[in-house]
Amino acid sequence: MLRKGLAIAALGLALVGGPALAAGSQKEPRTVDWSFSGPFGKFDRAQLQRGFKVYREVCAACHSMNLMSFRNLGQKGGPFYDPKYPNPNDNPYVKTIAKEYEVSDIDQETGDVVKRPATPADHFPNPYPNEAAARAGNGGALPPDFSTLSKARKGGADYVYSLMTGYGTPPAGLEVPSGQYYNPYMLGDVSAFWKGEGYAPKGGFIAMPPQLTPDKVTFDDDTKSTISQQAKDVAAFMAWASEPKLEERKAFGVGAMIYLTILAGLLYVSYRRIWRNVAH
Amino acid sequence: MAGANPENGAGGDDPSRRDFIHIAAGAAAAGAAVTIAWPLVDQMNPAGDTLALASVEFDLTKVELGQSVTIKWRGKPLFIRHRTGAEIAAAIKDDNAPMRDPQTDEVRHKPGKAEWLVLIGTCTHLGCVPTFGGGDYQGWFCPCHGSHYDTSGRIRKGPAPTNLAVPEYAFVSDTMVKVG
Amino acid sequence: MSGHSNYVPKTGFERWLDARLPVARLAYDSLIDFPTPKNLNYWYTFGGILALCLGIQLATGIVLAMHYVPHVDHAFASIERIMRDVNYGWLVRYMHSNGASMFFIAVYAHMFRGLYYGSYKAPRELLWILGCVIYLLMMATAFMGYVLPWGQMSFHGAVVITNLFGALPIIGESITTWLWGGFAVDNATLNRFFSLHYLMPFMIAGVVILHVWALHVTGNNNPTGVQVQSKADTVPFHPYYTVKDGFAIAVFMLMFAAFVFFNPNALGHPDNYIPANPLVTPAHIVPEWYFLPFYAILRAVPDKLMGVLLMFGAIAVLFILPWLDTSRVKSLRYRPTTRMYFFIFVVACFILGLCGARLPDEHVIPGLKTFQLLDADLNSMVWLSRFATAYYFAYFLIVLPVMGLSETPLDQPKSISEPILSPSAALPAGAAASPEKRG
């Protein structure tokens, strides 16, 4: 049928054409087989724990995670969830982690700003007091907040993984400005710095130097601490932090799809039954 | 009068809504509606961040004998009173007096901690905040509708139906309580 | 609402109510007994689907408003709090954000149906115009709703769209300042957009009541475009169309659920998860997919004012459509030539959508070198969108008026029942091309 064919073709066209191409260029991120992809996906608890350790020991020195609280680590689906403590505020492991951080508070009697050990209800402390300080500490570049970063980048966890492992010797003919690093997965436009033949390479400059080195983080579960492993784990942790309700959502979704399929089937039979004697 | 449409019905049996399949389809649709209604209702319950703030720890050394401190807990006032011996004695003396909501003083504090009284500071009548030191029983007095509470926070006179509520709390150490 | 009523109050209470406020009679006449042409196909189920979409958006929107904070410092975080801490907040928020897209998918299908079967033609002109008003209100509501999360796309989308009004001569600048409540999109803007975003759905609901009222005065159009002539042409709305709409709704909900649960951000843009920053514009601003065709029309014109006028003109032309189509025949089933032009029109709309998502200078066919025409390469998105824009307007302003006068339509059946009862004799050649053969 002409009409049906056209409609389907056009719908497909629109869906393919939907995502916008960005100005500038970047290499397509490498795809990783994540445990949390697909309709039945779940986070790998051990991986989230390793990822949190990488974040804490490597990234947290510059990158804030303002929307995260310590209690989130112990909530259902989180890295340190323990079914014995349905209320994450009581989770002793989370309490211990929180106590290792200091947060600012106001002394109720004197009104002075004091430091006290954090509780599970506290947010992750920001490494910098304000944006200006963060820029000043990083050569003018602002280290982005990690709370929603994974879903704020095209490619999500694949992108984070690719970026962290994508550093290398810049192609010959590319003049990298000082204080900058070339990364093919970074969105940017390097054509003004390209002195080589043909088109400028894909990718952009990033102010963050390569961070991960083998054995930089010691994993408690004896996983071999390679750059790739660290990048994968921290990307998974960031994906969880952006979508902490992913597991709940997908589980609900599988149930909803099954229920709706049955409902549609019942309604179809009912529809056929009601219309069976009407010529139409 | 569902399918009563004689012009269209080719045969005699018009579609009956009592047919099992129609009931099943209708029930399944109603089930879907109820399932989706629950999240819309449950969202009004306390959220995760609200629940996280639902317990507070308090250092009792800040309260002198005979003094009380009011702190905010779950958006409501919480009375932490360091009772004097005279107050405790008055409360025990009245243990068997006629009361609307009979309770002994002993069950209203933690064992061996009679000097510490922790109460939710809202009148059980309609939620006003009673003041200490007023009323006929030297305890709390609610200015809104005149409820009198004794030194154990028990209702003795006035419209309030029950004693001032004791929250769930525990001594984490000798000088530290955790409420909630 | 019109004609006689078959409602018979059964109980004493129903009689009591009927004499005072005949709501039961109204419901019976319009939702149960309403005579509906018996040949409506699945394209006609989108009305019911749209009613459900509006209901979902209202219910989830009211819930979101209980948790959302319309302030530049808190808006982004309050949305994330809904997603993280509020019970089922993720579900409510994703239903609302994807629900907007579902609403537009359904409304475009509904409009396609109306255009194809000539549902805008007499006596249904007002019914069509009320639909256009709903569509316009929907676009305004969706735009303001997209601003509320206060992400990068929200903010810069609001900047771009409000600046459109700056194109108007003399009053343009005053209007944009008035819209913003300041010198730029800021807290005042966010606050008023929130207020209006809450108000407009209720305005939509009001116009929907008028839309349904108008429908029930004229009765449904149908795929043949032939007016209902006797009771033999119709069936009561319930149970025949309640069950058919119900089935279509269930299938539609399956698609909806697939987005909400498994790909909730597929129709959005990742940049909107970056909090708004007035100092940095994202590399490429794109509106939500349902605005892309109009965005392409806007960019097709190198002049700011002309672009804005053309974009609004693309919607305005829909309002006068009933008087542009000069044909006596409603359904394109019996107008094979016009039907071809119509399919090209649909393709042009999709091409415009495609162009709206791309940069104007991007090549349509990668690597193909052509020549420079005026200001751009012929093989560029901007030229493609110019051709598509020209066709969009030509379809309404030239094809429909001219074809109505010059085309010889195929024979229409004398009644809705005729081709059904004796298909071989009455089925015109054109009908064979129609896909509405359902089981």
B140-142 and B169-173 beta bridge pairing: unpaired
Q: How far apart are the first and last CA of chain A?
A: 20
Catalytic residue among B22, B82, B109, B145: B145
Nearest chain B alpha carbon to C230: B7
Find the range with the poorest average confidence among A118-127, C139-148, C311-320: A118-127
Could you give the CA distance from residue A276 to residue C240 in angstroms, rounded to a whole number?
10
Under DSSP, the state recorded for A153 is: S
Q: Which residues of A touch C272 (CB under 8 A)?
A: 152
**Confidence (pLDDT) at C421:** 60
The Cα-based distances of C396 to A278, C108, C314, C319 in angstroms read: 38, 17, 10, 11
Return the structure tokens found at C401: 């008026």
CA-based nearest distance A191→chain C, Å: 16
Q: Return the pLDDT at A79.
A: 95
pLDDT tens by residue, C237-278: 999 999 999 999 999 999 999 999 999 999 999 999 999 999
- Report the C-alpha gap between B176 and B173 in whole angstroms: 5
* A41–chain B nearest CA distance, Å: 22
Q: What pLDDT is recorded for position C417?
A: 85
Residue-wise pLDDT tens digits, A170-205: 998 899 998 899 999 998 888 889 988 888 889 999
Average pLDDT over residues A107-113: 80
Does ipTM surpass 0.85 in this model?
A: yes
Higher pLDDT, C186 or B16: C186
Question: Does B3 score more than 60 pLDDT?
Answer: no
- The rounded Cα C352 to chain-centroid distance in angstroms is 16
Q: What is the pLDDT of residues C32-57, one digit of tens each?
A: 999 999 999 999 999 999 999 999 99
How buried is residue C393: exposed, middle or buried, by Cβ count under 10 Å (0-12/13-18/19+)?
A: middle
From the CB of residue C134, how many other CB atoms can be counted at a distance below 10 Å?
A: 22
Cα distances from C153 to residues C61, C149, C181, C278, C391, in angstroms, run: 20, 9, 20, 11, 30
Is residue B50 very low, low, confident or very high in pLDDT (cuts 50, 70, 90)?
A: confident
Q: What is the DSSP letter of C29?
A: I
Name the pLDDT band for B179 (thresholds 50, 70, 90): confident
- Spatial separation of the C-alpha atoms in residues B19 and A273, rounded to whole Å: 9
H, E, C per residue of C180-238: HCCCCCCHHHHHHHHHHHHHHHHHHHHHHHHHHHHHHHHCCCCCCCCCCCCHHHEEEHH
Residue B116: strand pairing partners: B82
For residue C124, give the 3-state DSSP assignment.
Answer: coil
The chain-wide mean pLDDT, for chain A, equals 88
CB contact under 8 A, B55 and A89: yes
Q: Does C246 touch chain B (CB under 8 A)?
A: yes
pLDDT at res. C375: 81
What would the pLDDT profile of B113-150 be if each residue is shown by its tens digit?
899 999 999 999 999 999 998 888 989 999 999 999 99
Cα(C103)–Cα(C51) distance, rounded to whole angstroms? 9
Start-to-end Cα distance in chain C: 33
Q: Are C81 and B44 within 8 A, CB to CB?
A: no
**pLDDT at A22 > cutoff 60:** no
Burial class (CB in 10 A: 0-12, 13-18, 19+), A110: exposed
Active-site residue flag, B109: no
Q: Work out whether the CA dihedral C286, C387, A5, C43 comes out positive or negative.
A: positive
C348 and B CB contact within 8 Å: no
Range with the poorest average pLDDT among C71-80, C189-198, C280-289, C415-424: C415-424
Q: Mind listing the pLDDT tens digit for each residue in A209-260? A: 999 999 999 999 999 999 999 999 999 999 999 999 999 999 999 999 999 9
